[in-house]
Structure 1
Amino acid sequence: MILQALTQYYDRKQLSPDPKDRLPAYGLEEKEIPFVIEIDKSGNFVTLVDTRVIEGKKKIAQKFLIPQGVKKTSGIATNLLWDNAEYVLGIVCKGKLDRVAEQHKAFREKISSLPIDTSNDLGIVAVKEFFEKLDLSNLELHPSWNEIIDTNPNFTFRLHGDVELICQRPAIIAATAQSSEVEDANGICLVSGTPAEIERLHSSIKGVWGAQTAGANIVSFNLPAFSSFGKDQGANSPVGKAAVFAYTTALNSLLGRGSRQRAQVGDTSTVFWAAQEHELENSFMDLFGEPSKDDPDRSTNAIKMVMQAAQTGRFSRGGAETEFYVLGLSPNAARIAIRFWEKVTAFDVSKRVAQHFTDLEIVRAPHDPEYLSLFRLLTALAIQGKADNIPPNLGGEVMRSILNGTPYPAGFLNLAIQRSKAEQHPSYARIAVIKASINRIIRRNNLNSSQKEKEFHVMLDTTNHNPAYLLGRLFATLEKIQEEANPGINATIRDRYYSAASSTPVAVFTTLLRLKNHHLGKLHKGRAVQLEKLIAEIMSDLSDFPRILTLQEQGRFALGYYHQRQTFFTKPQSSTEEVTQ
């Protein structure tokens, strides 16, 4: 199903009216080529062009459309008219002298083995002449020569004065297409369902965060333990050469640098596309990624678009029933693990994403962002707020819950509560996670229960009589009394008692209630009476202080504390409004 959907995406992109949006034809691929050797028609060296430009702190090479590269193995396998420095120039960078000599020989032999019509092309003749009089002394004068020796980058050729590379000349492209179309059917392709020549080694997938820089595979059988029924390598999962080219080209395009159809969710590289051109394809990343510095409102606009589409079922481009695909990938040694795979309609995905942001909605300070990105939620749960400390798999599991509309993983709620207790600070992002997680659990439990539990509101709910929620409200009120009694105090009862109060209330609240009498004595009489009434109102529904609160109850405690705390800093709408409104 995954390979079929990717192949269909490739076919759609092949028909795109925009050449820039079109994926390479069968037998070709886009590749970063750092260095281009320019020669004249007689094969004389003219110059070495460095195509790299500085983006941020990295040098990024220009991409060219070139003949598709071969699958590199432990043996010697060379590409047509482009490859690394060892193959093209025969210089020792990382390999051994004898092996490099064989690699260079194989590179030249592949050029010589081209059909007669192609071998007479002006560019091919010039390359052959270049190798006949190969002299590296001019190349060694280039400022990047030492870097070339260290990194073994890719090289290719161009005739001086031409725009296209030699490997892009019409005769070469025609020969590449012709050789790609010759198939000797030896099996049934699992993707197309038709007879095809089965690919033994699938092309590598690049761009998965944390995977090998040279690329990794989704389909791979490189040890006898992975094989069955005496079949070898690709024969265990027969996919035709054309289908392999299509799905790998499509996936590499989705994962490519600058792609608007990928998002990094924790350790999971997530890509998304639709069966037909759709508005969600280019806006889905904005729903979960950090706001762009160039256009900070883009994420907010994308979320509002999805919320509107969830209500109306209408999109500015594409239909509500268009199939939408989301694929999560994680590194696994030389392979790529499928973290999740979801196929839903555009309307369903908009409803589930909208529900996610609705569940997260909580009263906030004016400087807090209206919508929290998934990255910000995950880092709020990580030790020291560092992305490197986000637990593995958590991002993918949360994304799966969003797309399925199911309760979030247990770790999502657990970490939000643990970090709040460890740092004595139930922050906006953590409380949003707690509210969203608990409400989804309540929603699921209410489906099969005669006694319906009330979901938690965005703001303070004075009608919610859950004991843990009331304890949280009481703790916030006691802290407020302490703050008003001691203006400018550096540390409050939250810094010392929050963790214990939220897990073992009976051990803390008796002491805190005694301390509050001392603090109330410092306040203006009217204010002291007002706060005492609030405490009495909260405690009227508390029969006793529990010995211990479960993890979910600790989440309810955090919500009560946060709601009451935010209310203290909310400007009353009228003079008659109560302090709890």
Structure 2
Amino acid sequence: MILQALNQYYDRLRADPEADVPEFGFGRQGVHFCLSLDRSGNLAGRPMDLRDEKGRPDRIEVPGPVVRTVGVASNFAWDNTGYVLGDDGGDNPERTARTHAAFKSLADEVLDGVDDEGARALLAFLADWDPARAQELPGWEDMVGLNVVFMLDGEPGFLHDRPAFRQAWREHLAANDEFETGRCLVTGEVGPIPPTHAKIKGVPGAQTAGASLISFNIDAAESYGKKQNLNSPVLERAAFGYATALNHLLAPDSPRKVQVGETTVVFWSDAPGEAEPFFGHAMGGKRAEDDGLTARLEGYLSAVARGKYPEALGRAETPFYVLGLSPNAARLSVRFWHVGTVGEMAENVGEHYRTLALQRRFDSEPEHPSPWQLLKELAPQRDAKNMSPLLFGQLVRSVVQGLPYPQTLLSAAIGRIRADKEVNYLRAAMIKAFLVRNRKQEIPMTLDTTNTNIGYRLGRLFAIVERIQEEAVPGANATVKDRFFASAAATPARIFPIIVKNAQHGLAKIRKDKPGWAVNLDKAIQEIVGGIDAATGFPASMASEKQGMFILGYYQQRQDFYTKKEKNTED
């Protein structure tokens, strides 16, 4: 199903003139230098350096490229200097001689009988070229081992882009009979089945040369005497299609991917529209360069959070796909695969934001935080490099499929709060979302004084005690939160008798200047303590879910204080 969806996406991209994806038999490759030939096949001028100011190669469309293992396999009309010029700077001249011979042989085979002056020039060059001359080329030290293409002197464009070259290469591919035939699992057609597929690039942590989505290279993985990818037969054209589509999604500037560490999520739909940028925006992908589009996407998020479907996302029944990948040595592992519709995706994203909904402390805080923003809040030092790739993949899957959130989300949020004693909007929102979805708790956006959950009530009580200290001892070096927050949430019976008693001393100080405020604070304490079962008293310990409620009660009580203070200031 994954390969079928990717192959269909490739067909959609080919129909889109703005997508700029190569046709079957061609691909994008980094090329470093270009050799110019005259009509007689002689080198004309210095090699042209195609690299940018940072030394990065120019990624251009070329025939192929071939998939190499340990054998000799040449590309057509371009390759590294070992193949093209017979010198790769290495210490194995016998192998280099074979690679150069393979390059010449393929060019002779493909261009045989082609009536084109560029073809004649290239064949003449190869017939006359002596690899010993390679080191005499200007700038050879920079060129050796890198990829090289050709052009005809005085004419624009590369030789491999000339219509005659492209047509000759297409005919060569059509006549290729080197592969065994079989029935394709993707298209159902019978045709040549390549033993290996193109490498997938752009997944952090995978090999720099790329990794395989499908690969069989040990006997234990093979069946019925079939070797390599004949165990999972895919037509050459279909293999090219899925690999090209996936590499397009994983391109460095792709707006259809989100990455955290070594976890990469790509997504696409069956029809063009704003569903793809909407989902990318919701997940924390690459920010749209168009400010108008960004504003529209935020509007769509607000709409789905209210349960409304934005018509601009297209037909709700349009299929929508999400694929999670991670590296595994020379292969890629599929973390999750989701097939749904645009409408289902929008509904699940909206439901996610409804479970997250919580009163914000500051207007600058994101109303619709992405998974990336949420998990960065849980990373040590809030450093994106410390974010958990595993938790990111699990969270995205929960959002996309409307599944319960991972259990580790709650423990990670509580653990981070215990570590740095900071309870903020994003952390509290994650805890609320977990408890609402996973434990079916009913938690409003703002303070709920009727909530009888012991964790919630004790969190409120702690916030009141902290407020009393702030009023009575402003600027204290060690606050009650610094000293007791984590232990009060975990072992209330050991901590609360101490801090409630100390709060009474603080109330005595407040009564001198603000007697009315002291009365209100004391009433709040008595209301909460009075609601605790006298027979059991403060619980000896609280499990993680009650600690989560403790944090929510604390956060919402603090927010209530801030809200009242701001209101009084305005009045």
> For 1:282 and 1:129, how far apart are their aligned partners in 2?
50
- Structure 1 residues 419 and 300: alpha-carbon distance in aligned structure 2, compared to 1, 3 A threshold: farther
Give the alignment partner of residue 343 of structure 1, picking from 327, 339, 346: 339
Matched, 1:206 2:198: no
For residues 280 and 238 of structure 1, the distance between their equivalents in structure 2, rounded to whole angstroms, comes to 33
How far is 1:48 from its partner?
A: 2.4
1:470, CA displacement in angstroms?
A: 0.7
Q: Which amino acid aligns with 1:126?
A: A
Q: Which amino acid aligns with 2:398?
A: S
Q: Does the Cα contact within 8 Å between 1:287 and 1:299 map onto a contact in 2?
A: no
CA distance in 2, matches of 1:216, 1:263: 18
Q: Residues 316 and 342 of structure 2 are in contact (CA less than 8 Å); yes or no, is this contact kept in structure 1?
A: yes
Residue 527 (structure 1) aligned with residue 522 (structure 2): no
CA distance in 2, matches of 1:294, 1:486: 49
Query: Which residue in the other structure is 2:70 paired with?
Result: 74
Distance 2:516 2:216 in 1: 78
Give 2:509's aligned amino acid. K
| Corresponding residue for residue 449 of structure 1 | none
Query: Equivalents in 2 of 1:509, 1:68: separation in Å?
Result: 71
- Partner of 1:316, secondary structure, is helix
Assess, with a 3 A threshold, how the Cα gap between structure 1 residues 576 and 65 changes in structure 2: closer, same or farther: closer
- From 249, 272, 278, the equivalent of 1:254 is 249
**1:195-219 superposed Cα distances (whole Å, 9 cap, x missing partner):** 1111111111111121111011111
Aligned to 2:15: 15
Q: 1:392 offset after TM fit, Å?
A: 4.2
Q: Deviations over 1:140-161 (max 9, x none)?
A: x43xx54544xx3321111233
Q: How does 1:34-113 map to 2 (within 5 A)?
A: 34-42=32-40, 43-54=42-53, 59-93=55-89, 96-113=92-109
Alignment correspondent of 2:526: 536
Q: How does 1:371-386 map to 2 (within 5 A)?
A: 371-386=368-383
CA contact 1:15–1:22 (8 Å) conserved in 2: no
- How many percent identity over aligned positions? 39
Write out per-residue CA displacement over residues 53-84 of structure 1, whole angstroms, 9 at most, x where no aligned residue. Answer: 35xxx544332221111110111111011112
Q: Judge conservation of contact 2:348–2:402 (CA < 8 Å) in 1.
A: yes
- Asked if structure 1 preserves the Cα contact closer than 8 Å seen for 2:301 and 2:368, the reply is no
Contact 1:187 1:195 in 2 (8 A): yes
Structure 1 SS opposite 2:156 = coil
- Tell me, yes or no, if structure 1 residue 305 matches structure 2 residue 278: no
Distance change in 2, residues 1:95/1:321 (3 Å): farther
Runs of 4+ in 1 over 6 A off after TM superposition: 573-577
TM-score norm. by structure 1 comes to: 0.90
Give the corresponding residue for 2:558. Answer: 565
Moved more, 339-348 or 265-274: 265-274
Q: Which sections of structure 1, spanning at least 5 residues, go unmatched?
A: 444-453
Mapping 1:289-438, distance limit 5 Å? 289=284, 292=287, 301-308=296-303, 311-316=307-312, 318-366=314-362, 367-438=364-435
**1:169-223 alpha-carbon deviations (Å, 9 max, x no partner):** 1111001111222365721111111111111111111111211110111111111
User: What is the SS of the residue equivalent to 1:270?
Assistant: strand
**Separation in structure 2 between the aligned mates of residue 371 and residue 164 of structure 1, nearest angstrom:** 48
Would the alpha carbon gap of residues 483 and 278 (structure 1) be closer, same or farther in structure 2, given more than 3 Å must change? same
> Structure 1 pair 291/207, CA: closer, same or farther in 2 (3 Å)?
closer
Q: What's the CA shift for 1:576?
A: 13
Q: Secondary structure of 1:53's match? A: coil
Shift of 1:439: 0.7
The TM-score normalised by the length of structure 2 is 0.91
* CA RMSD between the two structures: 2.4
Equivalent position SS for 2:265: strand
Mapped partners of 1:279, 1:147: distance in 2: 45
In structure 2, the partner of 1:28 is 26
Q: Does residue 268 of structure 1 match 2:263?
A: yes
Does structure 1 retain, via aligned residues, the 8 Å contact 2:377–2:426? yes
Structure 2 unmatched ranges of 5 or more: none
How many matched pairs?
A: 556
Counterpart amino acid of residue 24 in structure 1? P
CA spacing shift, 1:283–1:40, aligned 2, 3 Å: farther
* 1:510 to partner: Cα distance: 0.7
